[in-house]
């Protein structure tokens, strides 16, 4: 009895049939109620007021400020993603080669850091970076500078703040891919005469690319929707499109235009996704083994 039951479960899992599809129903229901319907409603809101109109989309293209803010949003997101990659990859590499206990400890630390409120982390950066703050005072005391250094409310502080928050989303996928690489492979390369860096560059790195792609995509897409960090740590020029959406929702109550802006952000994100897919082939992510 038990055995047949077990087998049929296995059969469903590995040979998707009509019956197997049943397993998808709970997930699909949740997805439709919590994701598809709300997005459809936002889409509808952006096009009907109360009759069909394109004016909210036209407004985006007619008034140059929205295009410019969109460009700033993409630019900041790209810089943050690159920064996460440069910091995250070496970190994940060291972590994947560290002992079991140490790497577990670090993973727990990384995940715990995600539990701290975003606002608390942003305000901490303000205290650290502000004029007469910890860093500024230190630099002046040491004598590296005699004037106050402007570390806060510029592109630097925004990138720093966002990188610190988004770093786990880069480290974790890279780490999990690196961990799944057969350690014999780079070793084999070295027995064949490759130097350690050559073994890394020609063997380990190419094999870890799926993790890099996943991390890149996660961080970039999450960055596009950011607005609290740029608002708190940024200066005049670090304005992101979500700021404008929030203003339409909360202050002027123009939900149609807010919906239009949101759809444009969503479409832009999908376009980036498509370009990315074309360039690297996201089917590679299936090997991720997460």
Partner 1 sequence: MGKKKVTRREFLKDTAMVTAAAAVGPHIFVRKATAASNKKLVICSYGGSYQASQRKAFFEPFMKATGVKIVEATGPDLAKIKAQVTSGNVEWDVVDIESRIMYTAMTENLLEPIDTNIVKLDTIVKPAIHKYGIGNIAFTTALTYNKKQLKKAPKSWADFWDVKNFPGPRSLQDHAPFNLEFALIADGVNKDKLYPLDIDRAFKKMSQIKGNIDAWWESGAQSIQQLTSGAVVMSSAWNGRVNVAQSKGVPLEIVWEGAAYDWDLWAVPKGTPRKELAMQFIQFALNAKRQAYQCGKLIAYGPSNKLAYNYIDKARQKQLPTYPDNLAKQFSFNSKWWQPRLNKLNEKWAAWKIS
What does the binding site for partner 1 look like in residue numbers (CB under 8 A)? 63-65, 68-69, 72, 126-127, 130-133, 150, 152-153, 231-232, 235-237, 239, 244, 247-255
Closest CA to 248 of 38, 34, 46, 39: 46
Element (H, E) at 240: none
Closest CB 266 distance from partner 1, rounded Å: 20
Judge contact between 175 and 89, C-beta under 8 A: no
Residue 95 Cβ vs partner 1, minimum distance, rounded to whole Å = 36
CB of 157 to partner 1, least distance (A): 10
Which lies closer to partner 1 via its Cβ, residue 37 or residue 270?
Answer: 37
Please give the sequence-ordered ranges of beta strands (E in DSSP) within 83-123, or none if there are none.
none
When the beta carbons of 96 and 262 are compared against partner 1, the nearer one is 262
Give the residue with the Cβ less far from partner 1, 66 or 91: 66
Min separation Cβ 231 and partner 1, Å: 6
What is the nearest approach in angstroms of partner 1 to the Cβ of residue 79?
Answer: 16
Indicate the residue among 80 and 232 with the shorter CB distance to partner 1: 232
DSSP symbols for 148-191: ----SSSHHHHHHHHHHHHHHHHHHHHHHHHHHS-THHHHHHHH
The rounded distance, in Å, linking the Cα atoms of 143 and 149 is 12
Q: Which is nearer to partner 1, 150 or 179 (CB)?
A: 150
Nearest residue (CB) to partner 1, 67 versus 110: 67
52, β-bridge pairs: 48
Phi, psi of 48 (to 5 degrees): -125, 125
Give the shortest CB-139-to-partner 1 separation in angstroms. 15
Between residues 214 and 265, which has the closer beta carbon with respect to partner 1? Answer: 265
* Under 8 Å between Cβ of 139 and 149: yes
Closest CA to 162 of 125, 130, 134, 136: 125
Calpha distance 228→193 (Å, rounded): 51
State residue 52 phi and psi, 5-degree precision: -60, 130
Cis peptide preceding 50, ω within 30 of 0: yes
The encoded tokens of residue 258 equal 């807010």
CB of 130 to partner 1, least distance (A): 4
């Amino acid at each position: 009895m038990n055995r047949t039951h077990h087998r049929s479960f296995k059969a469903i899992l590995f040979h998707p049939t009509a019956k197997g599809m049943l397993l998808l129903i709970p997930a699909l229901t949740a997805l439709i109620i919590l994701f598809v319907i709300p997005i459809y409603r936002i889409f509808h809101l952006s096009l009907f007021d109360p009759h069909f109109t394109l004016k909210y989309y036209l407004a985006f293209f007619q008034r140059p400020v929205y295009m410019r803010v969109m460009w700033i949003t993409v630019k900041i997101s790209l810089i943050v993603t690159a920064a996460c990659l440069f910091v995250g990859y070496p970190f994940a590499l060291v972590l994947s080669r560290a002992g079991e206990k140490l790497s577990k400890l670090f993973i727990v630390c990384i995940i715990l850091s995600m539990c701290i409120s975003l606002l608390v982390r942003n305000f901490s950066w303000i205290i650290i970076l502000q004029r007469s703050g910890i860093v500024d005072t230190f630099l002046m005391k040491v004598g590296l500078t005699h004037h106050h250094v402007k570390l806060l409310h510029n592109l630097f502080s925004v990138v720093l703040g966002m990188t610190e928050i988004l770093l786990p989303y880069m480290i974790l996928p890279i780490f999990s891919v690196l961990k799944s690489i057969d350690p014999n492979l780079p070793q084999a390369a070295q027995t064949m005469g490759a130097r350690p860096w050559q073994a890394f560059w020609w063997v380990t790195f190419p094999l870890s690319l799926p993790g890099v792609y996943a991390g890149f995509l996660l961080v970039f897409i999450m960055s596009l929707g950011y607005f609290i960090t740029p608002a708190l740590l940024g200066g005049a020029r670090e304005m992101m499109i979500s700021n404008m959406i929030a203003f339409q929702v909360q202050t002027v109550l123009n939900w149609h235009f807010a919906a239009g802006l949101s759809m444009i952000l969503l479409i832009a994100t999908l376009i980036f996704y498509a370009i990315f897919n074309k360039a690297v082939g996201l089917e590679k992510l299936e090997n991720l083994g997460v």
